[in-house]
Amino acid sequence: MYRRGRVIPGTVVHPVGPLCDCLAVAISPHEPPAAPVLRSWRAELRALLSWRRILNRLRAVLRSALVTFVVLTVTLWLMPGVESNDIVDTLGLVAIVAGVGAVLRPLLLLGITALGGWGAMLLGVIAQVVVIVVALELDPANRISGLPSLVITAILAIIGAAIVDWMADSGTDDTFVREARRLMRGVRRRQARLAGGPVLTFRRPRQGAEPGLLMVQFDGLSEPVLRWAVRAGNLPTLGHWLRSGSHTMRGWHTGLPSTTPASQAGILHGATRQIPAFRWFEKDTGKLMVTNRPRDAAVLEPRLSDGRGLLRDGGVSIGNAFSGDAAVNLLTVSHAALPGRSARGWAAFMASPYGFTRALVLGVGEVFTELHQARQQRRRNLQPRVSRSGAFLALRPASMLLRDVNVSLIAEQMARGAPAIYCDLVDYDEVAHHAGPARPESMRQLESLDRMLGVIERLAPEAARRYHLVVLSDHGQSQGATFRQRYGESLDEVVERFSAGDEAEAPESPAESEATEEPEFPEPPVAPLLVVSSGNLALVYLTKFTERLDRAAIDRQYPRLIRGLAAHPGIGLVIVRDADGPVALGTSGSHRLSDGTVQGIDPLLPYGPRARYDLLRHQEAVHVGDLVLISCVDPVTEEVAAFEELVGSHGGLGGWQTDAVLVHPARWPVTEAELDGPDAVHHQLVEWLAMLGLRTQPPAADDEALQLEHEARKEIFERPGSPRLSRTHDG
């Protein structure tokens, strides 16, 4: 795209796009060079005419021309009815494609940017097809006729070019980095024009630039898995940071529930207690809440936000469940929208052959890879395992597409100079759910995320700020055969079996009032006894009652329910409110959470020294179930029995699901010796933002509630019989 004698990067949206760059070099002698500072036109011209730059451009043009020639030759050969495939005619067609692209692509990209959202996804594909179709229509040889044939030829050419480019790069991220740099330089040029100043291009990070903080979340990654992968040498980027001493790694404890929405509610807003699980039932409204549904996340956002979130001071939220009070929200579930007109990087990615088309082609490859890996598990009789077909076949390539989109959006916001960016990358978590958290397939996804950190590191010199990078996870995962696999029935079926025939005809109020009428609550559109599972955590609700019931009230309605669940070998804990507060029941004993009194064999022992406080804190969450169930955990392997059909699960207690990780610059101070809970991580990140000068109010004003929680925790653990917290290892 050409404007005022300059080339605007990010407009190459076609497999033969670099060919147009050759024309741009010939037409536009004023293209800004890659130099530390644009001091004068002489320095600009000298950099433009440098041998290295000319050779790089020529190499890119020759490669693009060769790819285009090969792809068009093969495509025309495959098309039925094409009488001639002359080399000279095909070379002419290559030139026509380049010319048509130079004229049409700028207009199409403007349309993509104007529509935003889903329009970017639709027009991004259409733009590439239109350029090829118009070029084929103008082909003097007239080898393809008819609109259907033209469209089919264009689609085959685009897909073929994406495959050839990927094969030429041998799976590296060089092309992706190159296109992201084009985008970032284009953003800086537009900002410079608006500001009326010079365009600056950098080769290395600037020491005097304003700082910024980029926080990248590896969804579902436990601290032990990351530490093992670094020691094995499988993560070169993170491994280099840790071995060089620039960064350090420490674990942090998520508590209960160990889910992304709860952790992000704490990390981004300091409001963990608003989220009792991944799914839950709200008795006052009669609604089943599922946090990955945009409409439910939008309802939750006002409950979490007090205007003092982690990203409130001009920050950007990318791919998260909630916003953190960010000024810009991109792919944030609670805002229920794709990036709009302001996110040019979204449009550029969707229109670029190295973006959406490449991800689409590689996504198809991921589907075949997944089918092969699942077959290998079956042939080897690898246990535990679950079915990896159905919706997961679509989730796996979708998560890869989302990863590339997120990194493109990060690059754009770094070029804009956003002070704080928080992005969630979900690749590892999605695969680990179905393959297992430490299986080769999952580690492959972790290695790809490490490569993305390398990409971000390579893009840092193009950023408007000097960004510091923090990598963290929201929870871990625990492995194990599912509850249904072990016991031949689901948890819902177990609950139904223990409650069958026991329901009282006229439910009494929890306070045992003498009123005989029904509670003033409409009949819910759900079962009277509702089981809502999240990993190996389950919440059980008696939906006919507006209040949360205690043990006596539940026993009156379902006399066999609590005893039957506590005695089941697949259920390790049943937590219910008793006359003296919440109590955890096991097969051979009980543990009163308020004062630590144990009768019989302590059921909390397999869950570690933090279990009592985790369960006690969880009982204070809003909308927690009348009963809280945690599956059994193997004391030797630390495997759990998920109530969902997932071999890798999280949400409850047991195993590595509560062992999250934080990687941060080694010299940065850490206030808390132990980061216990997402709210504590929020507090620490806020302090680092304040240290960098990116917080407009002191962190003490933001974290009064967190301080009160720390005091409450201290009081609990100073009581007689309270467990001691083990110190987290600091790598």
How far apart, in whole angstroms, are the C-alpha atoms of residue 691 and residue 693? 5
How far apart, in whole angstroms, are the C-alpha atoms of residue 617 and residue 286? 24
Ranges of beta strands (E only) in 110-238 are 211-218
When divided into structural domains, the chain yields a total of: 2
121, part of any domain: yes
pLDDT of residue 21: 32
CB 63 within 8 A of CB 160: no
How far apart, in whole angstroms, are the C-alpha atoms of residue 250 and residue 610? 17
Domain ranges, residue 51:
2-174
20, part of any domain: yes
Gyration radius of the chain's alpha carbons: 29
166, part of any domain: yes
80, part of any domain: yes
113, part of any domain: yes
User: What are the backbone dihedrals phi and psi of residue 259, each rounded to the nearest 5 degrees, phi first?
Assistant: -130, 160
pLDDT of residue 562: 96
* Global confidence as pTM: 0.74
SS3 for 529? strand
Q: Which of 614, 649, 684 is at the close of a domain? A: 649
pLDDT of residue 556: 94
Q: Which residue has the tokens 């019931």?
A: 549
Classify burial at 92, counting beta carbons within 10 Å of its beta carbon; exposed 0-12, middle 13-18, buried 19 or more.
middle
The edge-to-edge listing of strands for the beta sheet with 247-253 is 247-253, 659-665, 466-472, 211-218, 420-425, 316-318, 328-330
Residue 385's Cβ-side half-sphere holds a number of Cα atoms within 13 Å equal to 17
pLDDT of residue 383: 75
In sequence order, which ranges of 589-703 are alpha helices (DSSP H)?
611-618, 678-691, 699-702
How far apart, in whole angstroms, are the C-alpha atoms of residue 229 and residue 450? 11
SS3 for 160? helix
Beta-bridged to residue 577, according to DSSP, are 582
Pairing of the two strands 648-649 and 478-479? antiparallel
Q: Which two tokens stand for residue 203?
A: 């080769």
465, part of any domain: no
Q: Which of 174, 194, 220 is at the close of a domain? A: 174
296, part of any domain: no
Ranges of beta strands (E only) in 177-326 are 211-218, 247-253, 279-282, 287-290, 316-318
Classify burial at 115, counting beta carbons within 10 Å of its beta carbon; exposed 0-12, middle 13-18, buried 19 or more.
middle
How far apart, in whole angstroms, are the C-alpha atoms of residue 559 and residue 112? 62
User: What are the backbone dihedrals phi and psi of residue 269, each rounded to the nearest 5 degrees, phi first?
Assistant: -125, -10
How far apart, in whole angstroms, are the C-alpha atoms of residue 44 and residue 704? 53
Residue 59's Cβ-side half-sphere holds a number of Cα atoms within 13 Å equal to 6
Q: Which of 126, 148, 174 is at the close of a domain? A: 174
In angstroms, the Cα distances linking 65 to 15, 105, 358 are 10, 18, 18
Residues found in the chain: 731
244, part of any domain: no
DSSP 465-514: SEEEEEEE-S---EE---HHHHHSS-HHHHHHHHHTTT--SSPPPTT--S
Residue 647 per-residue DSSP state: S
In angstroms, the Cα distances linking 565 to 56, 156, 306, 350, 491 are 68, 58, 39, 51, 10
- Roughly what angle, to the nearest 10 degrees, separates helices 236-244 and 440-459? 70
Taking 50 as the pLDDT cut, the residues of the chain under it are 1-40, 117-118, 170, 202-205, 341, 505-524, 701, 705-706, 709-710, 713-731
Sign of CA pseudo-dihedral 273, 274, 277, 283: positive
Torsion over CA of 487, 488, 493 and 496, rounded to 10 degrees?
A: -60
